[in-house]
Copies of this chain bind each other. A is one copy, B any other.
Amino acid sequence: MIKPRSRRGGGRPTISDVARKAGVGAITVSRALREPERVSQDLRRQIQAAVDELGYVPDPNARALASARAEVFGVLVPSLTNNVFAEVVRGIYDSLSDSPFRIQLGNTHYSGLEEERLLQVFGSQRPAALIVAGIDQTPASRKLLENAGCPVVQVMETGPDPVDMMVGFSHLDGGRTATEHLIEMGYRRIGFIGARMDPRSQRRLAGYRIAMEKAGLFDPRLITTTPVPSSVSLGRELFRDALAKVPTLDGVFCNNDDIALGVLFECHRAAIDVPKTIGIVGFNDLDMMQVAFPSITSIRTYRYEIGRRAVAMALAAIAGDRPQERVVDLGFELKRRESTAR
């Protein structure tokens, strides 16, 4: 009647194999692995020896099922290739690499619907925490996050109404600061060039507009945007469009650094002097901005740090002490460089 052992399990050692070998109960092995301080030294050593000898690795699925909690962080970003999110994700990975937590990474492709679907999938695993990019979730997504039963951190931006916690900075302020810098440096016909135009880009544009209006320089024809995903080559094209539209253009605030680089290259190609004829400001301050010739002024953002902080906050919440400040603004910094040094 009694089968010798797992007919399905492919013969990997289980917790009871370890228990038998160590001469203890299965539950003691479980404890020794999860809360060693609750097991006596002697047993702990015996159990460790048995674990090593058998090469036992706990089955995370069984663990999750029994404890109704998976040791998984769900992470949702709109793009995997955009360096900005890659940095955030890297921060998350680095912060979690010594923890028992695994990471489930989802790509929403900047789509609210995909985000909902992934949230559904991720939620079904009872994750330990959820980290999502952005603050513009659909109502359905928001509900899913609220009912996830775990800490939730919205990253990249700050806003007034966190689902749970937030780490980021103000894109509007970033856009305004960049634009004000151009104005301050004496540029007047300052264009905004933006690709993708996701919600964060929209807010940068809003910041641009505020600064321009305040200075009495706003003109809708100065704005050139497209929903097409951002790239260096697209930056070049958009700049040509912008220049064709407004030949008197004397500065551009770019949605991001890829676009800015494309603008710079086109200036080289068309023999337009930077910064004398055209001033350029980027956004994010990728490494290449300071190496470019001329080096490009940009808004430095702390992507890696956002990832790290998000994990730290989630971990604290899991441990029971939710940080009292639920919205953390990591700010940004204007890096003044040659591209605007008139």
Contact = CB atoms under 8 A, between A and B. Distances in A.
A102 B60 CA distance: 15
Given A80-B90, A83-B83, A61 B57 contact: no
A68 B121 contact: no
Given A120-B57, A121-B102, A149 B10 contact: yes
A64 interface: yes
Contact of A10 (B57, B68, B89): B68
B102 A102 contact: no
A97 B115 CA distance: 12
A62 B235 CA distance: 49
Interface string A1-40: 0000000111000000000000000000000000000000
A324 interface: no
A290 interface: yes
Interface stretch (A123-131, A176-184, A198-206, A329-337): A123-131
Interface stretch (A103-111, A164-172, A207-215): A103-111
Nearest to A258: B288
Contacts of A262: 288, 291
A81 B70 contact: no
A121 B123 CA distance: 21
B68 A80 contact: no
Given A81-B86, A90-B81, A104-B104, A60 B125 contact: yes
Nearest to A6: B68
A173 interface: no
A80 to B, nearest CB: 5
Tell me which of A114, A266, A287 has the highest count of chain B C-beta atoms within 10 A of its own C-beta: A287
Given A103-B105, A232-B291, A123 B87 contact: no
A291 B236 contact: yes
B291 A124 contact: no
Interface residues of A, number: 54
Nearest to A235: B291
B64 A287 contact: no
A70 B103 CA distance: 15
A316 interface: no
Given A65-B62, A102-B121, A292-B265, A89 B93 contact: no
A160 B86 CA distance: 33
A59 interface: yes
Contacts of A232: 287-288, 291
A81 B287 CA distance: 12
A87 B120 CA distance: 26
A307 to B, nearest CB: 10
User: What 8 pairs between A and B have smallest CB-CB spacing?
Assistant: A232-B288, A268-B293, A61-B64, A57-B124, A8-B68, A81-B86, A61-B61, A61-B65
17 contacts: A10-B149, A57-B120, A59-B125, A61-B61, A61-B62, A61-B64, A61-B70, A83-B83, A102-B121, A231-B287, A232-B291, A233-B291, A236-B291, A261-B291, A265-B291, A268-B268, A268-B293
